[in-house]
Amino acid sequence: MAEKSFQMSLELTAIDSWVVHVPLQAEWASSPEFGAHEAGMESSRRLIVRIRDADGFSGWGEGAVALSEDDRCSSFKQLLRPGACRAPLSILPLWETGGNYWLKPEDNSRYSPPKHNIKHRLRHPLQKVCESAIYELLAKRAGVRLCELWGGPWRDSVLADYWMGRVTPEHAERCARRALELGFRGVKLKTTLEDPNVERLEAIRNAAGESFKVTVDPNGRFYRLDDAMRTLEEMDAIGNMAILEDPFPRFHLAEFASLRSKLRARVAVHIDPPESLWSVIEARAAGGLNLSHPFQGPGEWRQDAAVADRANLPVWHGSSLDLGIGTAHQLHLAASAPNCTLPGDQVGPWLREDSLLKEPLTVKDGCIVVPDGPGLGIQVDEGALDNRCVTYLNVSGI
């Protein structure tokens, strides 16, 4: 019997998009002694998208600013073509006809491989933000919370830590006290091997106590195991370093694996690109995973979380210190995955100058409560959105 393909088609009618500028609050960014953190510069700009359908439903998405305005307009027009938006949502038709092969292989060749084999070639820069918005639209149409669209939540609140960039020990104490006041029970810390790493962990312990745990993230800037081992042993002895993420460049997987037996802290790897997941698992390089990629949509994220679950690995959903819309999406995704039990850093709404939400998200006992209500369960503050807008684009159906 011939195999039938599932057809789900939405009649999308309009896409609104805003590029907004919402910097970090200067008091809580990196210490000036270490220079400005990248989150305070170009990544202060975020892309907000609202997608509407013919029945009056809409969904919101947030992501990195990608492509020029003209190219975003062309991609949105592709998505609004009649019948264009259909399953699978993980490969949305955002590419223009005749796009660069290195990004989008041609479909009309008899040598073309199946699309599911080359998803990495089809991951459009607007895939994540548009797919997220469409999923929220579908949840609103069904009258359910977004996490229920994915089988229901495993938890009603998601473990999340505060965040600090490269800071002096004195600045770290102030940040740790603020984290406690807000309800967080841990912090993610950016660093390099040359920083005062031991003194900073001691300062955090002095300000917040031994139960306040730290995820240390050098972004590969501890270089090699031989370079870093003495410092890591001293940091591990302080007792509050719970997770060490990406100490070395990710092509040194053997050194990650070797380090795991030498520390009490859990060694974690940020899976980027997503196709590196199996290599990390096979190398036994990690005791936990950070799953996040700026252009990977929620469908692929859930697939990666399921693969990690089969490997008995806990994960967390990484963030880009997002605004309220992106943070809410991550909370629903994290709630839907059984093994998403490690602390994320969904703290952007408390670090940015604005969350763009009418009602703030709730922190309770070191966790952020998953919003209740259809879709994301949030209300976007459109007045704040307009005030923070750098450029606005509206594309209507053809």
pLDDT tens digits for range 348-377:
999 999 999 999 999 999 999 999 999 999
Question: Got the DSSP string for 36-65?
Answer: --GGGTGGGEEEEEEEEETTS-EEEEEEE-
Cα(274)–Cα(138) distance, integer angstroms = 25
d(CA 245, CA 70) in angstroms, rounded, equals 38
135-167: buried (b, 16+ CB within 10 Å) or exposed (e) per residue?
A: bbbbbbbeebbbbbbbeebebebbbbbbbbbbb
Question: Residue 101's CB: how many other CB atoms inside 10 A?
Answer: 9
- CATH code: domain 12-143+387-396 is 3.30.390
Ordered by start, the domain boundaries in the chain are: 12-143+387-396, 157-382
What pTM, to 2 d.p., does this model score? 0.94
Q: 261: exposed, middle or buried (C-beta count within 10 Å: 0-12, 13-18, 19+)?
A: exposed
Alpha helices in 239-314 (DSSP H): 253-260, 277-282, 298-310
- Output the CA torsion sign for 383, 385, 391, 396: negative
**In the block, residue with structure tokens 């692929």:** 300
Domain boundaries 157-382, corresponding CATH code: 3.20.20.120
- The pLDDT tens digits along the chain (398 residues) read 444 444 466 899 999 999 999 999 988 888 888 876 655 545 689 999 999 999 999 999 999 998 999 999 999 999 999 888 877 898 898 987 666 666 677 777 888 888 888 887 788 999 999 999 999 999 999 999 999 999 999 999 999 999 999 999 999 999 999 999 999 999 999 999 999 999 999 999 999 999 999 999 999 999 999 999 999 999 999 999 999 999 999 989 999 999 999 999 999 999 999 999 999 999 999 999 999 998 899 999 999 999 999 999 999 999 999 999 999 999 999 999 999 999 999 999 999 999 999 999 999 999 999 999 999 999 999 999 999 999 999 999 76
pLDDT tens-digit readout, 23-58: 999 888 888 888 766 555 456 899 999 999 999 999
